[in-house]
Structure 1
């Protein structure tokens, strides 16, 4: 009988962990639909190309402002770590921010003036990016508390990939079924449901004690922030993320190439995105099954080599042939596998680098570096394509793959292996 309270507490914790697994899965599925790279992505790219008459560089520059809310994610983390809303540090913010995103998509669905388009998109990006910070902070806090960080992240990214499959297929269909304006507005109306679902479920499921702006809690948060900037592991992680993500990207250029040169339909391009997401699901499974227990040194080297190989593989698909569609199906699937393995390895390292009481800020710093460098990579790639390579994709792809391989030579100088092994033993 003496063990009854302990058993009861374990049962309560187990139920709550199951509820969190459900919440993290649903939230990432909904965020996969709601973010600018989700359901609205293909209809938006098609609208920019056909209605606003942007070339690759113009479209990239026009959308660059949407990266700002993702780059300043540490600001949202600081606000959430320091300031409670309606007595809560996390759940109240999730409710308000997702309602904010709903408003942005409602505005987008009503817009008839192209000058207002980017403002509505920016509003949705702010709400989605800020809510993402809060849910990541919840993941880090509860992952550490219940020793479930890897499992929580696996669930999150599995359902994000499922969302990408849905949005790729549906987004391609919307872009092709109607005129570009109708497709964009329809995608915005459908997307509104996603943040609404996140707002409701997070309020109902998240268990959080009410907090106030007392001196003790502020001191604890400040101590966590101080520990953040003293962490050698964190600085090592930041340096690697910058190098890993800053390689000339070819996302929008390859989209224009598939549309104009290969004459792929918008629906087929959407299916390619879905195939890539299927590959990402397989990559997540392979990581959890075979790589998650290997050393971080092995994971990073494996990720660099396979990512570079998958990038170089696109060189074999640049000449239009009767097999072009099959080649792109294969490449999309393989690229999905390698990119997910690399992402999970880096995110697991990032989560371990977060000190207590500053989880929201620290993880947001790392994610903002990923997002900011990814956007700079996309802008750099499009600029190089237009100004250096006269529209030829091959030099851009070679440079991108070479930049990824360069990370191999920098691992020893940053002593990633040594620091991470020491951290794990502690």
Structure 2
């Protein structure tokens, strides 16, 4: 029996589902060690809300370079493979970084050292996501069903434990990846095996297409103009309200469940809705949840008899994931208009634009928190900040015509004829 036929039963068990399913599970679990890192930064290193949010944003810098990873993965092959090697290497980088954090002595950990390990982790995550997204895009060319999924975890750990658990999961992802041959995924052959220069040229041509460039501009703008206050909210919940860490952990679980249910709902019932309408509806939903957070901080729900911990448990994690809900229909839209052979590069550019938008959004949040006078011990201006955030979420709705609409375009062509 050949090696390809005998590796863990992958060939018999649909290897693309093994690869992507386990991969998205691991990446979906990433929120839990990051939650642990937040507690580590605030409890052990005693950072303030602005520094916490600055560190969260700066750790996302490797995500901005995704177009580079995409172009390289499209054009540079290792042993005849150009997706799985990047998944394996990215998973290994994550395993190394989180295991190093888990085993470091607390007395020897500095903000600089922790920041470097977090940067290394996000570099690995970027490589994995680029390769996974490229596989999804390539598989999407062959069949209409979506292969995206999301990870779920069902238990909350201490900070050190989440670092260790995720490091082990990433190591397992590395082992799973290296035991799958890319040819078993039955992906379409890349029509262009040219070098990096050719792929850069092809990507440049794709990005000049109005249906692509305007759509990407909107998805990035819809995030960048929103000054998120995640660091401030974390401090408000844990330091001011004294909500137990377990509630925040379980809230993350609800957020991941919401992501999973969203993927199922989209595939079964929402896929036929025009992307522009669906994405706009998600943007409105985000605004509603931000307003709900404003009411939470004002104590409205508390006055109605809803404990703060209950609100955090069911709603905080969902709001965080809502910002990612629009990525699924947008990704499907990009897959439809992307020329064959440029899937990895284009999807990497899209995710890079979104990552940069989140960094800008977080930076605006730091400025906004300072402007409304929020500090570690004074949250009196927090509601004003949330009101500004809610208004900013609504601004991109004015420009939804930038999102490419296939039906509208066909109708315009018919009218011209």
2: CA distance between counterparts of 1:365 and 1:83?
17
Structure-2 residue corresponding to 1:411: 400
Conserved? CA contact 2:75–2:193, under 8 Å: no
Structure-2 residue corresponding to 1:5: none
TM-score by length of structure 2 reads: 0.82
Structure-2 residue corresponding to 1:8: none
Residue pairs, 1:103-114, within 5 angstroms: 103-111=96-104, 112-114=108-110
Q: Deviations over 1:167-192 (max 9, x none)?
A: xx42xx31xxxxxxxx33x3322222
Which is helix-richer, 1 or 2? 1
Distance apart, 1:147 and its partner CA: 1.5
Structure 2 unaligned runs (5+)? 1-10, 185-190
Greater displacement, 334-343 / 346-355: 334-343
User: SS state of the match for residue 227, structure 2?
Assistant: coil
Distance apart, 1:108 and its partner CA: 1.9
Distance apart, 1:127 and its partner CA: 1.3
Distance apart, 1:338 and its partner CA: 4.8
Conserved? CA contact 2:32–2:249, under 8 Å: no
Conserved? CA contact 2:282–2:322, under 8 Å: yes
Conserved? CA contact 2:99–2:168, under 8 Å: no
> RMSD over aligned Cα, in angstroms?
3.0
TM-score by length of structure 1 reads: 0.81
User: SS state of the match for residue 298, structure 2?
Assistant: coil
Structure 1 pair 257–85 and aligned structure 2 pair: CA distance change class (3 A): same
Distance apart, 1:284 and its partner CA: 2.8
Structure 1 pair 208–285 and aligned structure 2 pair: CA distance change class (3 A): closer
Structure 1 pair 257–361 and aligned structure 2 pair: CA distance change class (3 A): same
Structure-2 residue corresponding to 1:77: 70
Distance apart, 1:349 and its partner CA: 2.0
Structure 1 unaligned runs (5+)? 1-14, 175-182
Conserved? CA contact 1:73–1:133, under 8 Å: yes
Structure-1 residue corresponding to 2:132: 135
Greater displacement, 74-83 / 280-289: 280-289
Distance apart, 1:337 and its partner CA: 7.8
Structure-1 residue corresponding to 2:216: 238
Q: How many residues align?
A: 383
Q: 1:22 aligned to 2:11?
A: no
Distance apart, 1:120 and its partner CA: 1.7
Structure-1 residue corresponding to 2:121: 124
Structure 1 pair 21–229 and aligned structure 2 pair: CA distance change class (3 A): same
Structure-2 residue corresponding to 1:292: 271
Conserved? CA contact 1:310–1:335, under 8 Å: yes
Structure-2 residue corresponding to 1:10: none
Residue pairs, 1:360-379, within 5 angstroms: 360-379=344-363
2: CA distance between counterparts of 1:86 and 1:287?
37
Conserved? CA contact 2:49–2:232, under 8 Å: yes
Conserved? CA contact 2:69–2:127, under 8 Å: yes
Conserved? CA contact 2:17–2:147, under 8 Å: yes
1: CA distance between counterparts of 2:356 and 2:201?
27
2: CA distance between counterparts of 1:104 and 1:203?
19
